[in-house]
Structure 1
Amino acid sequence: MKYIVDLHTHSIVSGHAFTTLFENIKQAGLNGIKVLGTSEHGPNMPGGPHIFYFGNMKKNIPRELYGVTILRGCEANIIDYEGNIDLPEETQEKLDYIIASLHDVCITPGTIEENTRAVLKVMDNERIDILGHLGNPAFPINKEAVVKKAKEANVIIEINNGSLTGSREGSKENCIEIAKLCKKNGVKVILSTDAHISLKIGKFEKAQEIVERVNMPEELIINNKESKIFDYLKSKGKLIDI
């Protein structure tokens, strides 16, 4: 199966990545990506962009460049166990999509109960579209509870290729279990690279192994057709210009 949408990517704006947005867009096209989401870390990430960056994206980043459709997003940081994120509501409303993730430099890893509460509560925010790298063993969660809430809230669960290639050691078995639960409960999934350099954009090999291992139904995978991600976001009142 070919995956032509990559919504979890970073540029030098995130503070610890290595290529510019324009380099990412050009390489995405070369790597067969039709829809590229740029999702810089939220402002609470050390070295991350100022809040003004996200407010200016709509005015300045074109919808299409070099034959690639560009979606303007953010990997927001969950900053407490009540599921709050580091973007004010007025900024959230200006974005095409939001990934919500737990990072140990933005929130101290808690108990399974605390971590689970943070993820469950963030899904009460209707502007959250994707849950990032849930397989991270630094943040153990009640996987079944999270997957069931994702179904109820119509939130996509990410299978993060970066987690499976060394950035979060020990993620594989968690990701397999989460993928199985998504299949069982009919929850949408998205393969993402979490690329921090342009060369990795569109490289989903390890994440693809996970969905193939669990025989994930094609209809649950959101990034194998452009129309799937467009339709999903439009159903949430986003992407009105596509």
Structure 2
Amino acid sequence: MNIIADTHTHTIASTHAYSTLQEMVHAAYLKKLYAIAVTDHGITMPGAPGRWYFHNLRIIPHLLEGVLVLRGQETNIIDFDGNIDIEADCVGTMDWVVASIHAEAIPKERPTVEEVTNAWMNIAKNPHINVIGHSGTNKYRYDYESVIPEFGRQGKLVELNESSFFGRESSIPNCKRIMEICKKRGVPIIVNTDSHFSSLVGCFDHSLALLDELDFPEELVVNSSTERFQAYLREYSQVFNDPLLQ
């Protein structure tokens, strides 16, 4: 399987990442990727860029070195009602939004499965969100069987996150279960690196090995072909409104 886009990445604007936006795009070019999304952390995360960073994303060209650049954010889910930290006047600058739960941005130490399930059910209804980010974390388990089909119905892509194989190892069994349910219920997924350094862009080896183990259908992997990915963008993103991409 060939992955043609990496749609969850971070730049030095997230102060625990170490490459510039141009370095990340250049890495995507070297990996022959069709697209990259730059999704720095929303403002609730410690060390995140300020609101003007996201408001000013409009100055980033959608095409650099022949790579489609999606202007985005990894927004934080900030409570168990599914509220997020994108500011209203920044929504219009976003081509791509990943929604994730991070302990640093959500107040409760030990949420129940029911609370996390409620958060994700409400996230599924949010029209501004594209990707359900690394949702296999043990601490934030939810009712996979109930929520994952709703993600599919609402056009949300369930992420298989390459970085989970290194930084969230305890979540790997949950990630496998989530992928099994996506396969069973026909819910589209997306494979991303969540890279915080340019050399990691486009490196999907562990994720692809898991999909191969599960005999996961390629047609459910939205970023496994340019045509599938473009079709999703036309339905769920504003990026092709840019006259330069017509």
**Count, aligned residues:** 240
Q: Does structure 2 conserve the Cα–Cα contact (< 8 Å) formed by 1:190 and 1:222?
A: yes
CA distance in structure 2 between the aligned counterparts of 1:89 and 1:212, rounded to whole angstroms: 40
Would you tell me which structure has more helix in proportion to its own residues?
2
Number of the residue aligned with 1:229 = 229
1:33 alignment counterpart: 33
- Give the corresponding residue for 1:66: 65
Report the counterpart of residue 24 of structure 2 in structure 1. 24
* SS of the residue 1:87 aligns to: coil
2:163 corresponds to = 162
Shift of 1:32: 2.3
Q: Which runs of 5+ in 2 are unaligned?
A: none
C-alpha deviations, 1:32-54, integer Å up to 9, x for none? Answer: 22201100010111000111111
Asked whether the 8 Å contact 1:175–1:210 carries over to 2, the reply is no
**CA deviation vs aligned residue, 1:142-189 (integer Å, no higher than 9, x gap):** 11122011122111000000001x211211111110001001111110
Q: How does 1:119-158 map to 2 (within 5 A)?
A: 119-158=120-159
**2:10 is the alignment partner of 1:10:** yes
Q: Report the Cα distance in structure 2 between the residues aligned to 1:226 and 1:36, rounded to whole angstroms.
A: 12
1:214 Cα deviation after fit: 1.4
Corresponding residue of 1:185: 185
C-alpha deviations, 1:94-118, integer Å up to 9, x for none?
Answer: 2101110000000135111111111
Take 2:230 and 2:71, find their aligned partners in 1: how far apart are those partners? 13
Separation (CA, whole Å) in 2 of partners of 1:230 and 1:197: 26
User: 1:191 Cα deviation (Å)?
Assistant: 0.4
Distance 1:3 1:10 in 2: 18
Shift of 1:229: 2.2
Deviates more, 1:186-195 or 1:222-231: 222-231
Farther off after superposition, 61-70 or 155-164: 61-70
- 2:123 and 2:15 mapped to 1: Cα distance? 25
Paired residues of 1:10 and 1:38 also in contact (CA < 8 A): yes
Structure 1: which 5+ residue stretches go unaligned? none
Question: Which deviates further from its counterpart, 23-32 or 124-133?
Answer: 23-32
- The alpha-carbon deviation at position 138 of structure 1 amounts to 2.1
Corresponding residue of 1:83: 82
RMSD: 1.2
Please report how far the alpha carbon of residue 237 of structure 1 lies from its aligned counterpart in structure 2 after TM superposition.
5.2
Paired with 1:91 and 1:27, the residues of 2 have a C-alpha distance of: 27
